[in-house]
Structure 1
Amino acid sequence: MSALGSPVRAYDFLLKFLLVGDSDVGKGEILASLQDGAAESPYGHPAGIDYKTTTILLDGRRVKLQLCCCTIFRAPTLGGVILVYDIANRWSFDGIDRWIKEIDEHAPGVPKILVGNRLHLAFKRQVPTEQAQAYAERLGVTFFEVSPLCNFNITESFTELARIVLLRHGMDRLWRPSKVLSLQDLCCRAVVSCTPVHLVDKLPLPIALRSHLKSFSMANGLNARMMHGRSYSLTTSSTHKRSSLRKVKLVRPPQSPPKNCTRNSCKIS
């Protein structure tokens, strides 16, 4: 519970995906392979409709997916469509065109991916991978071959569709400020946080790494440290330089020697 008493959500985004394809292509097998998924449906689990929810991690954000196998298209709430066929059933692959026409009629423009199911039956393959890949390129969609039995490419295909949907709606901009730092950035931050900038050159590190540490310090504003008994930063340094320039301008240049001064008459006592 949060401070105001409202429940804290266990996810950052909620997307609804629909799995479509001919009967017996393994749509239910794909959902059943999600070990962490919940089978409870908020719609009362109607007969003939498989439903499951799962949560994936996408660029450090939790995305909850509501997955449904049915022929009910609801464009306002539908996030994406997964076109499923059986690689060991040529008829199911040929039927994808029919499903695409129905999708374009009820939910035009919805993001889609093409999934060839039951890769573990590759010895019975009737749909060559190259043909399915070329077909997906003509449609302009991403193509995966998956195997629920081996848990191969199931989560990867869902994650890619979620990425496409979020990019389509511009939601990726919402988490850019909280980008997960790389291991190198974390190490640099740890070193710079406890080492003054002027002491970085004395660290027993390669020259290239010391240079990167100094650049990281300047770029992230972590260089405010005690230097020679005073605080140093980019702002104070630039201010000090400007004040020094003002002082230089105020100093009058030395006067030129008098015109009647000659080499013999001007002597240094």
Structure 2
Amino acid sequence: QGILLVYDITNRWSFDGIDRWIKEIDEHAPGVPRILVGNRLHLAFKRQVPTEQARAYAEKNCMTFFEVSPLCNFNVIESFTELSRIVLMRHGMEKIWRPNRVFSLQDLCCRAIVSCTPVHLIDKLPLPVTIKSHLKSFSMANGMNAVMMHGRSYSLASSGGGGSSKGNSLKRSKSIRPPQSPPQNCSRNNCKIS
């Protein structure tokens, strides 16, 4: 058993309510591992709860602390993994835990396909630097069709070879589509969704 205490970093009231939840946990589930999670990191420009304050609160209450962005798939898996690790260690099951597991190529290819979740125009948000590199979004950049994936911009427009006026001219694509490169031998029931 383990508990994730989640608050919204853009909502001070949600953070202030954590005290009440800790009292409930101490009364009904004493000793159960807890992790404090600040949600909606992609909206850090609207932050009402400073990271330092949340981290100090977590330390005072003997909790691990994470800030996550499910929208950008940032720190979500890591927070659940850490809670699982703490629970397993608490029950003396360290041998089951294998942090150095080497993933097969099959696992990695399937994971890459499953975790590419396009979010339109997320790259236009004033995101924290720590999650900019995790962006997977389609955008219209400077009037040209482009795809933002893993922090890099890939243009979907083709360059004209006619050598006309100002360097390379770019043509607009009719539709925006993500790069299609599914692995040849990856069947759906073999993929592990994380």
Q: TM-score of the superposition, structure 2-length normalised?
A: 0.50
Larger radius of gyration: 1
Larger relative contact order (C-alpha < 8 A, sep ≥ 6)? 2
Q: TM-score of the superposition, structure 1-length normalised?
A: 0.36
